């Protein structure tokens, strides 16, 4: 007759169950999975940045080839925070001169495809564009569209893989796997500081799982006594040697922008 | 030509005085033809200059904006192309959900690539190109009103602009030269007839659409033969209802333009519909390839139809996504009834920071003897343009 449960087995099971119950109630953090911790950090980072309302800024983008040749783009950015959805954002191009007056409007939506319109001043035409091309380069730079888009929590699945110092701060190191379609990446590793949830560094791994690019941010400024924004962002492509530097200037928060300023047909009147 | 240059410098002078935002371009254009023209006097090649300055400024915290844009072309060989135009000279006033515009403006309605059925507000500056994308400025009073359920446009269009036509030396042109200045009108008010237009447009998720209405002088003329040697444009009154729609679904972008047009002589429908299918990052490069297919149909009787009456358009758009923003668009129009074919290639690339090179080539082949395009049969051309932007 087979022994289904010996007293010792029963004891072990009891002990095991009580450990789980005890463990969960007494030490919630330690029993959390790395995935849960990663998600919590992403949620905390999003919560930290909520309430900024809107901002405007000037962006100077310097593209550098492997040989060291450079070219510059000047873009004005206007962003409106949208509660419960991705932000609305306007990019107005001032340089190079042949694209002066071109404007791009994006309504970003977490996992759903973004709505995107382009105003072409030569034709005086507002054109709805297909936003499915997330992995394509932005203006010939090493930044892809997906690198510059609004970072909603649901866009990735997360995993906390470590904690280490990053410059003067302590950082969470989290792995993010894009949950949206058509990403050019299999995963990203992000260094996020524990205090102000500043994204200090991101490594991007391509579809073959090889390291493709590294983003490093620098010279963070705090606005409205709370929100951190970097003054420079450098994106290096390790595979082709190209790099792009973004310099952010003239950040202004809560400037009074509203939905009215982010209508597709209002693109025509931007100067 | 001298007046053009003088006007150009005068404008630059004025702008430096009023401290407005200034931009624009100067371009040199070389027109090269593969064959001699079919008709007497037509030039073989041509080198021309164009100047397109723009100014804008604002006051009242940006609630009032003025803008001006001029176009000048200096052409030694085709006197009709030696011309200047005010593309824009406008005051825009923002008032809550209303945008008021008074002055001269150029606008674009529609979504399809091969022809622009719905786009009827501005006259075409035809000497600048046969694709209908160069347009003459139109005087207008325009109210744009925003609602949650869409955008309404109301336009009053006083003053009609006559289409531009190539001179006897010009290429490509119709067999008989069109004397644009001798235009005649159905309306006794001639070019002073006041036209009206309205449009309702809206975005619902991945769908953008518009319904438009126009009542007034048709920008696209009929032609009368005068003295057996020249054509005279005849501008009739029309009422047009137009629909344009674009739907994005994953890699597909579906496009539709439809019109119903009523004139005293005829009432008809025309449609252009098709799609663009995109391949992103082809062969593991940064290059995107868009493939386009459009079909155009026009239900007027044979002999009264436009060029795009039973025509298929196939196109391929390459965006290199490089530092120089290199783009290439190749297209072919095939007349399914007459088997006429025309091919077109457009490409451009930035050079340095402020220059841009453009190439355009057009080939007409197998043109049927009854096709309107027959007059262009020997006008295969290559156009090279180098522009300096500022």
Q: pLDDT by residue (tens digit) across A83-123?
A: 888 899 999 999 999 999 999 999 998 888 889 999 999 88
Q: Of B255, B321, B352, which to mutate for an interface test with A (greatest number of A Cβ within 10 Å)?
A: B321
CA dihedral over B102, B103, B106, B110, signed as positive or negative = positive
Rounded CA separation B286/A135 (Å): 9
The three-state secondary structure class of B184 is: strand
Residue recorded with tokens 């893989």: A161
Contact A135 B281 (CB under 8 A): yes
* DSSP 8-state assignment for residue A14: H
Query: Cα B38–B41–B43 angle (5° rounding)?
Result: 80
Contact B65 A269 (CB under 8 A): yes
Nearest neighbour of B280 by CB, restricted to A63, A124, A136:
A136
Q: How far is A139 from chain B (nearest CA, A)?
A: 7
A135 touches chain B (CB under 8 A): yes
Query: Residue A265's closest chain B neighbor by CA?
Result: B151
Contact B281 A136 (CB under 8 A): yes
Q: Which residue did the predictor score with more confidence, A53 or B4?
A: A53
Rounded CA separation B123/B233 (Å): 13
Contact A140 B253 (CB under 8 A): no
Contact A128 B354 (CB under 8 A): no
Nearest neighbour of A123 by CB, restricted to B133, B146, B201:
B133
Query: Residue B20's closest chain A neighbor by CA?
Result: A271
A67 touches chain B (CB under 8 A): no
- Residues in chain A closer than 8 A to B94 (CB atoms): 269
What pLDDT band is residue A21 in, cutting at 50, 70 and 90? very low
Contact A96 B94 (CB under 8 A): no
* DSSP 8-state assignment for residue B124: B
A101 touches chain B (CB under 8 A): yes
The three-state secondary structure class of A15 is: helix
* Phi–psi pair at B369, nearest 5 degrees: -60, -25
Nearest neighbour of B67 by CB, restricted to A135, A139, A271:
A271
Predicted pLDDT at A2? 42
- Residues in chain A closer than 8 A to B21 (CB atoms): 271
- Residues in chain B closer than 8 A to A243 (CB atoms): none
* DSSP 8-state assignment for residue B372: G
Is A163:A174 a contact under the CB 8 Å cutoff? no
Sequence-distant (≥ 6) Cβ neighbours of residue B193 within 8 angstroms: B160, B185, B187, B216, B217, B237
A113 touches chain B (CB under 8 A): yes
Predicted pLDDT at B255? 97
Question: ω into residue B276 within 30 of 0, thus cis?
Answer: no
Q: How far is B148 from chain A (nearest CA, A)?
A: 11
- Residues in chain A closer than 8 A to B140 (CB atoms): none
Rounded CA separation A264/A114 (Å): 13
Q: Which CATH superfamily is domain A44-269 in?
A: Lipoprotein localisation LolA/LolB/LppX (2.50.20.10)
Q: How far is B35 from chain A (nearest CA, A)?
A: 31
Predicted pLDDT at B179? 92
Which residues does chain B have with pLDDT short of 50?
1-2
A208 touches chain B (CB under 8 A): no
User: In this predicted structure, which of A27-31, A58-62, A131-135, B136-140 has the lowest mean pLDDT?
Assistant: A27-31
- Residues in chain B closer than 8 A to A96 (CB atoms): 350, 353-354, 389
Per-domain boundaries in chain A: 44-269
Q: Which residue did the predictor score with more confidence, A184 or A20?
A: A184
Name the B residues in 92-151 with CB < 8 Å from any A CB.
92, 94, 96-97, 99, 106-108, 111, 133, 144, 146, 151
Name the A residues in 249-268 with CB < 8 Å from any B CB.
260, 263-266
Query: Cα B72–B78–B83 angle (5° rounding)?
Result: 20
B324 touches chain A (CB under 8 A): yes
Rounded CA separation A100/A81 (Å): 26
- Residues in chain B closer than 8 A to A125 (CB atoms): 108
Query: Cα B215–B218–B221 angle (5° rounding)?
Result: 165
Predicted pLDDT at B182? 92
Query: Residue B251's closest chain A neighbor by CA?
Result: A132
CA dihedral over A209, A212, A217, A223, signed as positive or negative = negative
Q: What is the ipTM of this complex?
A: 0.89
* Phi–psi pair at B70, nearest 5 degrees: -120, 160
- Residues in chain B closer than 8 A to A136 (CB atoms): 280-281, 286, 288, 321
The three-state secondary structure class of B12 is: helix
Query: Residue A62's closest chain B neighbor by CA?
Result: B323
Query: Which domains are present in chain B?
Result: 2-389 (2.40.160.100)
Query: Cα B368–B372–B375 angle (5° rounding)?
Result: 85
Q: Is the pLDDT of residue A19 over 60?
A: no
CB pairs under 8 A between A and B: 95
**B25: β partners:** B52, B389
Contact B208 A128 (CB under 8 A): yes
Predicted pLDDT at B219? 96
A97 touches chain B (CB under 8 A): yes
Q: Is A128 exposed, middle or buried (0-12, 13-18, 19+ CB in 10 A)?
A: buried
Name the B residues in 263-292 with CB < 8 Å from any A CB.
278, 280-281, 286, 288
Predicted pLDDT at B226? 84
Is B254:B260 a contact under the CB 8 Å cutoff? no
Contact A132 B206 (CB under 8 A): no
Q: How far is B152 from chain A (nearest CA, A)?
A: 11
- Residues in chain A closer than 8 A to B390 (CB atoms): 97
- Residues in chain B closer than 8 A to A269 (CB atoms): 65, 92, 94, 99
Sequence-distant (≥ 6) Cβ neighbours of residue B17 within 8 angstroms: none
pLDDT single digits (tens) A166-224 = 988 899 999 999 999 889 999 999 999 999 999 999 999 999 999 999 999 999 999 99
Pairing state between β B230-235 and B177-178: parallel
Nearest neighbour of A125 by CB, restricted to B108, B323, B325:
B108
Name the B residues in 160-189 with CB < 8 Å from any A CB.
none
- Average pLDDT for chain A: 88
């Amino acid at each position: 007759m087979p022994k289904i449960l010996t007293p010792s087995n029963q004891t072990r099971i009891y002990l095991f169950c009580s450990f789980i119950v005890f463990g969960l109630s007494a030490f919630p953090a330690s029993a959390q999975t790395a995935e849960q911790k990663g998600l919590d950090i992403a949620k905390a980072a999003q919560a930290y940045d909520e309430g900024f309302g809107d901002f405007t800024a000037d962006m100077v983008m310097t593209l550098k080839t492997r040989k060291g040749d450079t070219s510059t783009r000047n873009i004005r950015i206007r962003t409106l925070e949208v509660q419960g959805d991705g932000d609305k954002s306007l990019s107005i191009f001032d340089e190079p001169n042949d694209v002066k007056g071109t404007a791009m409007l994006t309504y970003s939506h977490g996992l759903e495809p973004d709505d995107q319109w382009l105003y072409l001043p030569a034709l005086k035409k507002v054109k709805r564009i297909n936003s499915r091309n997330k992995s394509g380069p932005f203006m010939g730079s090493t930044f892809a569209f997906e690198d510059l888009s609004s970072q909603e929590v649901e866009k990735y699945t997360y995993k906390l893989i470590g904690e280490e110092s990053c410059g003067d701060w302590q950082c969470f190191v989290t792995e993010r796997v894009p949950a949206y379609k058509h990403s050019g990446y299999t995963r990203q590793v992000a260094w996020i500081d524990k205090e102000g949830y500043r994204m200090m560094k991101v490594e991007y791994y391509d579809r073959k799982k090889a390291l493709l690019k590294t983003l490093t941010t620098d010279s963070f400024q705090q606005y409205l006594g709370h929100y951190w924004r970097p003054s420079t962002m450098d994106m290096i492509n390790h595979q082709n040697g190209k790099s792009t530097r973004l310099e952010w200037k003239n950040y202004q928060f809560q400037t009074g922008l509203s939905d009215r300023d982010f209508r597709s047909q209002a693109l025509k009147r931007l100067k | 030509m001298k007046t053009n240059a003088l006007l150009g410098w005068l404008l630059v002078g004025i702008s430096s005085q009023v401290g407005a935002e200034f931009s624009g371009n100067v371009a040199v254009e070389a027109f090269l033809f593969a064959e001699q023209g079919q008709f007497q006097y037509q030039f073989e090649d041509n080198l021309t200059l164009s100047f397109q300055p723009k100014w804008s400024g604002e006051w009242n915290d940006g609630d009032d904006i003025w803008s001006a844009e001029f176009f000048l072309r200096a052409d030694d060989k085709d006197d009709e192309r030696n011309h200047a135009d005010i593309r824009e000279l406008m005051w825009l006033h923002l008032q809550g959900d209303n945008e008021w515009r008074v002055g001269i403006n150029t606008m674009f309605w529609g979504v399809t690539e091969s022809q622009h059925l719905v786009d009827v507000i501005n006259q075409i500056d035809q000497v600048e190109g046969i694709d209908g994308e160069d347009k003459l400025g139109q005087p207008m009073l325009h109210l744009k009103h925003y609602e949650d359920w869409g955008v309404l446009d109301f336009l009053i269009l006083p003053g009609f602009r006559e289409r531009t036509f190539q001179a006897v030396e010009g290429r490509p042109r119709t067999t008989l030269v069109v004397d644009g200045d001798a235009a005649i009108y159905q309306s006794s008010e001639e070019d002073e007839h006041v036209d009206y237009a309205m449009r309702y447009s809206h975005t619902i998720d991945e769908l953008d659409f518009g319904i438009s209405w126009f009542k007034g002088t048709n920008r696209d003329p009929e032609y009368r033969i005068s003295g057996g040697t020249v054509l005279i444009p005849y501008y009739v009154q029309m009422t047009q209802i137009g629909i344009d729609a674009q739907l994005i679904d994953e890699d597909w972008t579906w496009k539709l333009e439809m019109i119903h047009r009523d004139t005293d002589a005829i009432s008809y429908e025309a449609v252009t519909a098709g799609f663009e299918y995109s391949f992103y990052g082809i062969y593991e490069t940064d290059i995107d390839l868009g493939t386009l297919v459009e079909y155009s149909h026009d239900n007027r009787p044979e002999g009264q139809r436009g060029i795009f009456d039973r025509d298929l358009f196939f196109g391929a758009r390459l965006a290199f996504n490089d530092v120089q923003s290199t783009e290439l668009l190749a297209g072919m129009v095939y007349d399914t009834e007459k088997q006429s074919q025309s091919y077109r290639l457009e490409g451009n690339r930035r050079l340095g920071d402020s220059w841009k090179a453009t190439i355009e080539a057009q080939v007409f082949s197998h043109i049927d003897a009854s096709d309107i395009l027959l007059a262009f049969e020997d006008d295969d051309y290559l156009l090279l343009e180098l522009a300096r932007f500022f």
